[in-house]
Every structure is written in structure tokens, then in C-alpha cells.
Amino acid sequence: MSRSNVYRDPPPPTSDRHHRPTLRRASADPARPLHLRAARPGGVTSRVRRLLLLAVLVLPVLLAACAAPHPGVRANAARPGARADAVRPGGVHHSAHRASARRVSARAAAPPATAPGAQAASVDTAAPTDPSGPCALPLTGARMSEGVTPWDDTYVRPLGTVRAAMVFVRFPDHRPTVTPARLARQYLPGLTRFYADASYGRLRLDVRPQVAYAEVPHSAADYGVRRGAPYAATAAFVHDAVAAARSADPGLDLDGDQALYLVADPDAPGVDHDATAATTLTDRDAIDTGGGTPIRQVALVWEGDTPDPGVLDHETGHLFGLPDLYLDPAPAGASGDPDPTALVGDWDVMADQSATAPEPLAWHKWKLGWLAPGQVDCVTGAGASRHTLTPTEVPGGTKLVVVRRSATEAYAVEARGRYGNDRAMCSPGVLLYHVRTDVDALRGPVDVRDAHPATPGCARSREPAMADATLRPGDTYSTGDGASRIAVTVNGRDTDGSYQVSVAVGQGGA
């Protein structure tokens, strides 16, 4: 691909797919030279004294250097995958992509990456607030709307410390061969690290795994928990599991918990590995915590004994109110096979639990309260504007440019880099996507624009053609015509990893 190319939207498709129409540098402290006073020349005693003095002065410096974090962003364990239907109270969100063979995520083998000049700490100290202003599109009646305001109290607010118990469930017709401790290690601390990094330290997930199985009264087959099962079947299993957990451990304390993870014996007969889901319980079915607010958000983990590590990252996103970004039913891809990730590719864990770039989109970070005022630039009218975007994976700086089109539609621009959760991504750069707040989950509320549609992309990605969707320095992508035209140009990349971006609305030319 030649640089300085201008990429435009393709002609409107004939299918029912959406039409396609707009760091701060944290410089490292200079190395400080170590000055040593020369000892007097002399015999062995003098040399010994010099050596002792050298050891006393140099050793603390070496120890401090070993203990200090590497400049940049802490890279944590990667995790793959995707989830299914997100629902209103009384509904269930199921797992996706189970028809395809499991594979080892490229993230697991990727080397750690740090942002040049990025902050050493992963905590962003700027105080977040609820999204506001003309670009903060409101919620609509769509299922799990992508609107960012007001906050929907149906879901767990992912700020501060969020407590949850993890209960391991066995069935009377099977003796488990996998211990709860081993199951817990498959999900923790990967889950908590993923969200600590994604939230810039603003969320601390306190997930407490139980040490023993709780036995429910019926077999897995009798409960009938499977993909697409009626809500009543799910609710019955949840309540039997909670009762069994309390019976097995009378000291089980759910007071103050906001969510619950139920992990089924992976080898039990009748356990449907396609049934992993998040569910929102009705007020009537909410779990009594013995004093605190009842628990309505529950993740049911019906995985095999070697699950995708990212399965709970995705499922937990549902507990926070994030929608599925993959398509169900899935359209046919270029090969003729179903292609559920055609609109978003690997660019958010809510699109694919095995994503090579699973970091939540900056739009989602704004929605969840992880961005502070000043980290979102809002464009509402015609004209040209310039922006400096820092990668969404690292703390600090402007994270998002929003071009408002209507009360239910916007374009979003963000920078992505090989840091933290995204260290195995295929193609760093600037991501452009279309957001519709009036489109249901699973129906394409987010549509990432592919800046390089003619290239093969990245073979290790779930959606190879979308893996290089980002714009690079010299690239321009335009959509729409006349007053509705939007053009995004990447003017350059700074040494600290930030990008210089121009946005033109309603103007001719690139």
C-alpha cells in the first residue's frame, strides 16, 4: 500500500448491513551519574576500603533499579475470545464462536511492550466523571444501547472496588476430576489484571474463589442450561447453586458483593460448553446478600477444562452493561463461512474473546466512566480540527475524538498501540468506527472502518482482513459527501507513541 492514499467508503451494499456514510509526553528522568569519591592510594586495607565504599554506594542503586517498574505500561497476561446475546433483566448472554476450533491466542506468546515515554504507573490520577456534553449520546431503547449517559443502574458500575464471589458447582451424577483451585487459576488473576489495566487502575475487581465445590441437587442435563435456554432454567440453576454454596460453606458472605461467578464442573455429563453466559436476574430472582443490595448480575461459566482465558473478560463486560459487538446471525464472509466478527474484527473483547487486540474501545471506556474530562474531544459542526491522541492502552492524554452526527449516531477516532492488553495486536495506528445507539446488541451497533480493505491483513487474527483496519501516518479515510463528509487524516506519530490527527467535516479535499 502506498502512503498518502485516500480511502473512501465502498458503494452502499445491497445487503441489510449498515450503510457506510465523520501523550502528553511523560519524558523519562535523565539518568543521574553516580559520583564516587576516590580513596587514597595505599595497601590492601586501602583497596578493601575502596571496595567496601563502592559496594555501599552502588548496591542500593542496583537494587532500586531492579525493583523499579520498567518505564511504560505494565504488560499483563493476555487472554483470548467472544460472548453471546446480551439481554434485559430476565435474559441471558451466551458465548459465541463455539463452532470454530479453539486456538492458542497469539497474545499469550507475545513479548511485553511498553510505550516510549509512557507513565510507569498504570493508575490514571485524573478524576473521571459521567460523560456529558453534546457528543455524549444518550441511551435509547435498543438492547444494551451504546449510549453513554445516563448510567443504567441495572448493571455493575465498574469504578473503585467491585466485589464478587466465584462458586464452583458440581452435579450429583459426576465426581469432578478438576479441582476448584485449578479452575480458579485459569481465570484469576488474568481477569482482574485485564480490567485494572483497561480502566487505568480505576477499577479493582475483588473476585474471591471458593475452595470447594458446591453440589446442586440435579444433574446438568436436568437443569437444561444450554445456549438459548429459557430464562427460567437459568434462574433455577443459579438459585440452587447459591443455596448449595451456602450449605457447603455456612460462612459464605455475599454482603457487599455486586456480581457472582458460577463455574460448573467442566467434565460433568450434560454440561453444554456453548452455554457460558451472563444473565441479569429479575428483581424477584435477585440473590439476597443478607443485608446489602441483592445481586442481579451473574456469569455462568460452562466451559471445558481448557477454556479461552478471555471468556470471563468478555462475560464481565456484560455485567458492566457492554453489548456484544459480533453479529448473530452471522453473515457469510469472503470464504462463504459465517463471519460474526465482520464489523469490528479483533478490536474489542466484546467482539471476540480470542482477540489479538482485546482492549475495550475508547467509546466503552468513556461509557464506563474511565475517562476524565478533557480526554474526549467533541466535534459537532463543519470545519477542520487537529488532535493529539495517545494510545487507549496507556494512561493520560486525549483518548477519543467524537464526531456527532445525530442524537443516535457518531463517528469515533482513537489511537491503538502494542501495549498492555493489546501487546499482540497486528497493526498499531488510528482506528475509526461508526457508533449507533439505536441498534441492538448482536446487530452491529459499532462498525469499524477498514482503512486497508485490499490487503490480506493478519493471519493470526480471528478476522484477518480487519486486523490492519487502522490508519497509519500519511493515510486518510473519508466517508460521506458534501455537508455529511468526514475525513480523518493521520499526520504523524510522535516518539512517545501518540498520533497527530486531523478531522475535516463537511469539506472537500483530503
pLDDT in tens, 121-130: 356 666 667 8
- The answer to the question of residue 430 being in a domain is no
Contacts of 342 (CB under 8 A, 6+ apart): 327, 330, 331, 333, 463, 466
Binning pLDDT at 50, 70 and 90, where does residue 241 land?
Answer: very high
- The answer to the question of residue 212 being in a domain is yes
The number of folded domains in the chain is: 1
- 458 against 58, higher pLDDT: 458
Give tens-digit pLDDT for 196-219: 999 999 999 999 999 999 999 999
- The answer to the question of residue 393 being in a domain is no
Question: DSSP assignment, residue 49?
Answer: H
Q: Which runs of E-coded beta strand occur in 256-399?
A: 259-264, 277-280, 297-301, 376-379, 383-389
- The answer to the question of residue 105 being in a domain is no
- The answer to the question of residue 369 being in a domain is no
CA distance 39 to 125: 46
Q: 3-class DSSP state for residue 408?
A: coil
Overall average pLDDT of the 228-240 stretch: 95
405-416: burial string, b at 16+ Cβ within 10 Å, e else: beebbbbbbbbb
User: Could you tell me the CATH number of the domain that includes residue 205?
Assistant: 3.40.390
Q: 3-class DSSP state for residue 153?
A: coil
Does this model's pTM top 0.85? My answer is no
- The answer to the question of residue 81 being in a domain is no
356 within 8 A of 104, measured Cβ to Cβ = no
- Name which of 234, 219, 241 is nearest 280 in CA terms: 234
Lowest mean pLDDT segment, chosen from 111-115, 181-185, 325-329: 111-115
Across the chain, mean pLDDT equals: 81
Binning pLDDT at 50, 70 and 90, where does residue 439 land?
Answer: very high
Q: Which runs of E-coded beta strand occur in 183-307?
A: 203-215, 259-264, 277-280, 297-301
Host H or E run for residue 340: none
CA distance 312 to 322: 13
81 within 8 A of 310, measured Cβ to Cβ = yes
Domain that holds residue 219: 153-319
Give tens-digit pLDDT for 130-145: 899 999 999 999 999 9
Residue with cell 457487599: 256
- The answer to the question of residue 187 being in a domain is yes
- The answer to the question of residue 398 being in a domain is no
- Name which of 7, 75, 4 is nearest 453 in CA terms: 7
CB atoms within 10 A of CB 466: 28
Question: Cis omega (within 30 of 0) on the bond before 360?
Answer: no
CA distance 444 to 435: 9
